[in-house]
Amino acid sequence: MNVFDFITLQECEAIVNSVATQGDFELEATHNKKYSFRLRNGKAGIDFADGTKQGEYIVHGGFSKLYGDYAGIGFPLTGDDLEIFETAETLLKWVDDLIKSRNIEGYETLENTVEQLTLF
């Protein structure tokens, strides 16, 4: 399992374009009915401590295990956090780091996946 089981480079490019224009998007991917990754845009419902004001453009993200002891994270991305969406590559790397941080057995990082591909 690797990052491409949750998001493709083409999806990253589409999301980057949507964020740049503050457009709408929603992505939800499930892998083997065990893991769920999601990203979608929205408007802040309240003022945040980081200075984001109610009604400003934000991106909601989350990653969850869908079995056993439920373990998930969800969060809004606002302000400087939206720099993640400047290029498809930075978004892909961020998604990879997010999933890697969940310590999923058998997860191959983007770095390892690229190394394996270059061996062939």
Mean pLDDT by 10 residues, the chain (120 residues): 94 96 95 93 90 92 81 83 94 94 89 56
Q: What are phi and psi of 114, to 5 degrees?
A: -65, -40
- As a whole number of angstroms, the distance between CA 12 and CA 9 comes to 5
Read off the pTM: 0.85
- As a whole number of angstroms, the distance between CA 39 and CA 17 comes to 14
Which pLDDT belongs to residue 119?
A: 43
- As a whole number of angstroms, the distance between CA 16 and CA 34 comes to 27
